[in-house]
A and B are shown apart, each in its own frame.
Chain A
Amino acid sequence: MKWSNVKLIFLREVRDQLRDRRTLFMIAVLPVVLYPLLGMSMFQVAQFVREQPTKVLVVGRWRLPNSPELFENGRFSARWFGDQAASELLAVEFVSERDLAPDEERDADRWRSAIDLGRCDAVLYVPPDFGERLEELRIAVRDIRPEDSEAARDIQVPAPQVFYSTATEKSQLAMRRVGQAVSRWSEEVGRENLALGHLPQNSAEPFKVSEHDTATTGHRDAALWSKVLPFMLLIWALTGAFYPAIDLCAGEKERGTLETLLSSPAERIEIVWGKLLTVMLFSTATAVLNLVSLGATGAIVLRQLPRLGPPPALAPLWLLIALVPVAALFSALCLAIAAFARSTKEGQYYLMPLVLVTLPLVMIPMAPGGELTLGNSLIPVTGIVLLLRAMLEGNYAQALLYGPPVGLVTLGCCLLAIRWAVDQFNSEGVLFRESERFDLRLWLRQLLHDRESTPTVAGAVFCGVLILMLRFFMGFALPQPDTFFDLARVTLVSQLAVVATPALLMTIMLSRSPTKTLLLCPPVAGSLMAALVSLPAAVLLAAAVYPTLSWLGVIVQQLYPLSPQLKELLTRIFHERPELWKTLLIMAVVPAVCEELAFRGFILSGLRRMGHKWRAIIVSSLFFAVTHLIFQQSILTFLVGIVIGYVAVQSGSLLPCVLYHITHNSITILMSNVQSATLREHPVLRLLVRELPDEGGLVCTWSAVAVGGIVAIAILLWFRRLPSAMSPEEALQEAIAQHAEHAPTYP
């Protein structure tokens, strides 16, 4: 890759974008205008809400005591609000006694309809006997003696009622105002009663809990800003990447300039990097300008909110540091998606799902449990938000601890997204996709007619997605296993019907050579000795890799513990078992055969037509992992999938893969069968496995891990030396790579 070309493309794209009014509006004008406008609107709305007059209908004023007075001059007394202006905002209409039918006064429907019809915003209803009962209470407080009966002391005052509607803001505002006035008036009545009874004023409420906030003002502000700023940063970085990416890819296709660029000496990877850096720049600029504008507007708004101070002084620095990987990730994703679109309009449709996927990842840290742990730090986007939050809150030790995993995950995601974008630019189907009317009948006819010896990449991906969906829906259709026998039945059905059958049917329908597709041939073509050795080598490899996997399993368990419900279910299921051979048959042999046919057979064969064997192995392993549905299990399954995928590619046969898979599953079952007593009785076994001190269960010893690791590397090196057959696409890619090494340089 020539960086001079990348720089040239980058500078051209930047200049092009800066001459585009839409982009300039998005990155420069909108942020500058948006927040001041929002701030002004907020003030005006708040002002409007504060000053909005409301009206209350008062029923039963004649039942109120004369002192203290709730109403004065036809309004609520100003003393219950604190100032005259607030009292004037609550207009009062009194319902006179003669307008009230005796049987109607308790009719809530009448007050509801008065509010619904807009006659008033709330109704204050004073029940009959309210004044009398209140007076009785006053007298009782004044005259009660110790020898008086309990009945004389127990005087119940009927509660006034406020009718309002939560369906309208105005009614809720009226309710708050009435509630405030009546509540303060009630407190005053209470104080007068205490005075009448010659009791101290604090008799009813002898003490109040004294609250002490240990957070300093700075900490409190940091906690709030640490929630707001990362959210804003991510959303604007995504939005800022969105429009330039569409313009640079789909826009170029529309304008017909992409083909010219593709026929220029610039390599596809140089074009992608040039465009990626441009999108990154605009993503960063959009986020920065928005944060600056938000900060400036906030500074003015904050003067009105004395309880909230400015963000931490180092916040701009942390935000800028976090912005680089965030912008890189979003830019690469947007670029890859936009490259697929034929037009800018289509690009907007495709990028919307990206927003929908990203939003929950940004929102996870906002949830109460969203803390920076090792597990959370491994979740893309979420990890960055949590890390940024820790930095803003000043938890530097925590941030330093989890910074490396967050950085690694983000870097990995960035590289994958960039790789995807480059692939999109290398794909003729993507670059020259034309509008097609889909005809299912013709398409199916052609699909069957034009099939080749191995399935296409699209066929392989479709098979993977189909298996995943079938497994997902089967989880709902079949009853949840409660015993081992239930689990065995579900396993058999799902393996045969959901995993093996689609793969076999698709092999017959979409490929000309089932033998080649499913690798149903002896291993290592052309060498009988290597073929014979490969089978025990696969078994030994599974056994050698297992100790390392057992420790990885422990780490995964610590990072992402199984839920207590799932743990209990697994314990219950594996409590009672049939004979070992039956368990091995159902849980080891059947899944090994079915899954290998699907994942290392049909799917891997199809994916190898991408032209990159490692990419095919990784993608097939991802499908293999995800179909296991339990997240914790999927992580280890992914690693196992990569090892078996490599064995499949190098040996060219499914047989070593099935043997590896059977061995791996069998060891897992045997390990779960070993009891503590067995371990104590067999010292040799103790050389291989030991009990976990806290969690229970078994794990391989470190010596087993070390020996197994050395043996595994030796076997993998032996597989590497096998003369593996390349797919035509892989051979082509290798030829291109070889020529690229010896390519002449041009001035």
Chain B
Amino acid sequence: MIHAHNLSKEYSDLRRGKLVALASVNFSAEAGEIFGLLGPNGAGKTTALRIISTVLRPTGGTVTVNGYDVVTQPSEVRHQIGFVSANTGVYDRMTAWEEVEYFGRLYGIVQPRLRARMEYLFDRLQMNDIRDLLGAKMSTGMKQKVSIARALVHDPPVLIFDEATSGLDVLVARALLQTVAELRQYGKCIVFSTHIMREAEKLCDHIAIVHRGHILTSGRLDELREVHGEQDLEELFFRLISEHDAAHRRPVLI
């Protein structure tokens, strides 16, 4: 479904000059599995996901989503994905229903199919009580529900969750993780970025630990435990990051 090959991204920063956000990373995510990008803040997770969703353009390497190239076929790629991020907001002056409908129509879904799909999503995500609520009056949890409904409205084969539980209370975060797990059952390819070990441990089929633009290790959780001889994911995470920083004494700018 998603294949990144030698994916690189460099930024130019007025203060620090050129920054390497991603340094030739390779990963793949398949249908019916959750691929976790696990890394501290500033590791390059959001950059990778923004490239997959065609919002950013890579400076090197290739990424294909369901066979479409993110650079040369961005329009096709955008039809394949649904994007949920803690950074994205909802429109303050639109109701939940209007917002999901707007994106559904942008995806080219016509009535009455769109209405049926929205009814299903609003039931499924328990959003009927906020149907006519303006974005400005929604809580963080409500906004996140709208974001998920917005990403699912066109029933894409690929879903991207970027730090989606960030800022949510325990109950809402738990509900969101349940939704993600259920989406896997529908055969979706899910990329889930987080810096919370427990979430990755519970949810992800495949995990890639990202740090300073590099993938330090990747594989199924049991494989990682076996290869690195470490049962606790958190301990494994700290060990890999420490080893990487020790090996690269000259700090890599990210």
Contacts and interface: CB of A to CB of B under 8 A. Distances in A.
Nearest to B134: A19
Contact of B75 (A256, A447, A743): A743
B225 interface: no
Interface string A577-592: 0000000000000000
Contact of A263 (B71, B78, B90, B102): B78
Among B72, B110, B147, residue most surrounded by chain A Cβ atoms (within 10 Å): B72
A492 B109 CA distance: 67
A259 B17 contact: no
B91 A747 contact: no
Contacts of B73: 739, 743
Query: What secondary structure prevails in chain A residues at the interface with B?
Result: helix
Interface residues of A, number: 44
Interface in B48-72: 50, 53-57, 69, 71-72
B75 A265 contact: yes
A260 B150 contact: yes
Contacts of A266: 106
Interface in A9-42: 9, 12, 15-16, 19-20
Contacts of B56: 428, 432
A739 B107 CA distance: 20
B93 interface: yes
Interface in B151-200: none
Given A428-B56, A740-B75, A263 B108 contact: no
A651 B76 CA distance: 37
A439 interface: yes
Interface stretch (B81-89, B202-210, B226-234): B81-89
Contact of B105 (A8, A267, A432, A442): A8
A442 B94 contact: no
Contact of B17 (A9, A256, A445): A445
Given A438-B15, A442-B17, A19 B93 contact: yes
Nearest to A268: B74
A238 B102 CA distance: 29
B79 interface: yes
Given A262-B55, A263-B81, A428-B57, A257 B91 contact: yes
A736 B89 contact: no
A436 B103 contact: no
Among A9, A15, A446, A735, residue most surrounded by chain B Cβ atoms (within 10 Å): A446
A454 to B, nearest CB: 15
A16 B94 contact: yes
Contact of A264 (B18, B89, B106, B110): B106
Contacts of B15: 436-439, 442-443
Contacts of A431: 55
A624 B72 CA distance: 34
B54 A263 contact: yes
Given A256-B87, A256-B88, A438-B15, A5 B55 contact: no
B12 A259 contact: no
A568 interface: no
B14 interface: yes
Interface residues of B, number: 43
Contacts of A443: 14-15, 17
A262 B56 CA distance: 10
A735 B72 contact: yes
Contact of A256 (B18, B89, B110): B89
B157 to A, nearest CB: 13
Nearest to A740: B75
A184 interface: no
Contacts of B57: 428
Contacts of A732: 71
A260 B88 contact: yes
Contacts of B103: 260, 264
B16 interface: yes
Contacts of A447: 17
Contacts of B76: 743-744
Contacts of B108: 265, 746-747
Interface in B14-59: 14-18, 50, 53-57
Given A255-B92, A439-B15, A735-B72, A263 B107 contact: no
A428 B55 CA distance: 8
Nearest to A266: B106
Interface in A701-745: 732, 735-736, 738-740, 743-744
Contacts of A9: 106
A432 B50 CA distance: 11
Nearest to A737: B72
A443 B57 CA distance: 23
Interface in A432-462: 432, 436-439, 442-443, 445-447, 449-450
Nearest to A264: B106
A263 B154 CA distance: 13
B178 to A, nearest CB: 23
B243 interface: no
A564 interface: no
Contacts of B129: none
Given A20-B93, A732-B71, A257 B88 contact: yes
A130 to B, nearest CB: 77
Contacts of A12: 94, 102
A429 interface: yes
A450 B94 contact: no
A262 B85 CA distance: 13
Nearest to A256: B89
B160 to A, nearest CB: 9
B52 to A, nearest CB: 9
Contacts of A746: 79, 107-108
Contacts of A15: 93-94
Contacts of A446: 13, 16-18
A242 to B, nearest CB: 19
Given A438-B14, A442-B16, A743-B76, A260 B83 contact: yes
Contacts of B85: 259
A257 B106 contact: no
A651 B15 CA distance: 38
B133 to A, nearest CB: 14
A256 B83 CA distance: 13
A530 B119 CA distance: 67
A746 B12 CA distance: 36
Nearest to B53: A263
Contacts of B147: 260
A436 B106 contact: no
Nearest to B89: A256
A743 B75 CA distance: 8
Given A259-B50, A432-B56, 4 more contacts: A256-B88, A260-B103, A260-B147, A265-B75
Which 3 pairs across A and B sit closest by C-beta, in order of nearness? A446-B17, A256-B89, A19-B93
13 contacts: A8-B102, A8-B106, A12-B102, A255-B92, A259-B88, A264-B107, A429-B12, A442-B17, A738-B72, A739-B69, A744-B76, A746-B107, A747-B109
Interface of B: 12-18, 50, 53-57, 69, 71-76, 78-79, 81, 83, 85, 87-94, 102-103, 105-110, 147, 150
